[in-house]
Amino acid sequence: MKILVVEDEERVAHFIQKGLKEEGHAVDVSYDGEDGEFLGSVNDYDLIILDLMLPKKNGIVVCRELRAGGVSTPVLMLTARDSVEDKVRGLDAGADDYLPKPFAFEELLARVRALLRRQSDNKSPVLSMADLSLDPISRRVTRNDNPIRLTTKEYALLEYLLRNPNKVLSRTLIGEHVWDMNFDPESNVIDVYVSHLRSKIDKGHEISLLHTLRGQGYLLSDNSPPT
């Protein structure tokens, strides 16, 4: 999934970015409130991790302005300390959750998973379709109980498809949610990854789950798509 991290402490920002990338997420980083608000309003993120104390514009103002502009992306606010006042201001500004610093990375990941789940069409902790399943906690993928080994990017692609089951997803949409802002939408990278993923999840199975709709995009479904 695609996540924006707005955090002015470079060390913390890179630590979060590296950890989330290892989990298969596409991560953009911004170091001040103005730039963060701009990125959050022009790109379609699945989650925004927003520090409270930021140069140029603080996290409360950024969150309030994003909400006023119609951005409904879940926001996880990082507060500098365990202050009730900061938490209340953050939640009142439209944040969905908060995490006081310093935090354990495991806790950040658990909150990220919960927020992504809340917003997804697929609310269960383990994502599945027919006999295919993906567990975001153990990162284990199986089909008919047989483990499937995926690369980080193939995993991210499958997670996005499973969070949007039975929906036609265009290449643009997939690019926006699975790749970071340096992704070139003109390249055929998505088709290459889809073809690798398809051979890993569908090959040798009677029912194909990953379908191509020519000129439209891709669909994960256990029903045959309309032709």
Interface contacts to Ca ion, rule CB under 5 A: 8, 51, 53
Least Cβ distance, residue 36 to Ca ion (angstroms) = 11
Considering the complex, state which of residue 108 and residue 169 has its C-beta at the smaller distance from Ca ion: 108
- The Cα 28–Cα 181 span in angstroms is 7
Least Cβ distance, residue 29 to Ca ion (angstroms) = 13
Least Cβ distance, residue 7 to Ca ion (angstroms) = 6
Question: What per-residue string of b and e applies to 93-116 under the rule 16 or more CB within 10 Å gives b?
Answer: bbbbbbbbeeeeeeebbebbeebb
> If DSSP codes are grouped into helix, strand and coil, which group holds residue 56?
coil
Dihedral sign, Cα of residue 54, residue 55, residue 61, residue 63: negative
Considering the complex, state which of residue 8 and residue 131 has its C-beta at the smaller distance from Ca ion: 8
Q: In this structure, what token pair is assigned to residue 76?
A: 């996880």
Q: Any idea what the Cα angle at residue 91 is, between residues 88 and 94, rounded to 5°?
A: 145
DSSP 124: S
Considering the complex, state which of residue 30 and residue 164 has its C-beta at the smaller distance from Ca ion: 30
Least Cβ distance, residue 103 to Ca ion (angstroms) = 13
Considering the complex, state which of residue 103 and residue 183 has its C-beta at the smaller distance from Ca ion: 103
Considering the complex, state which of residue 33 and residue 74 has its C-beta at the smaller distance from Ca ion: 33
**Would you say 36 and 6 are in contact if contact means Cβ atoms under 8 Å apart?**
yes
Considering the complex, state which of residue 20 and residue 169 has its C-beta at the smaller distance from Ca ion: 20
Least Cβ distance, residue 32 to Ca ion (angstroms) = 10
Instruction: Find the residue with minimal CB distance to Ca ion.
Output: 53
Dihedral sign, Cα of residue 127, residue 132, residue 136, residue 138: positive
Least Cβ distance, residue 54 to Ca ion (angstroms) = 6
Phi and psi for 55 in degrees, rounded to 5?
Answer: -70, 155
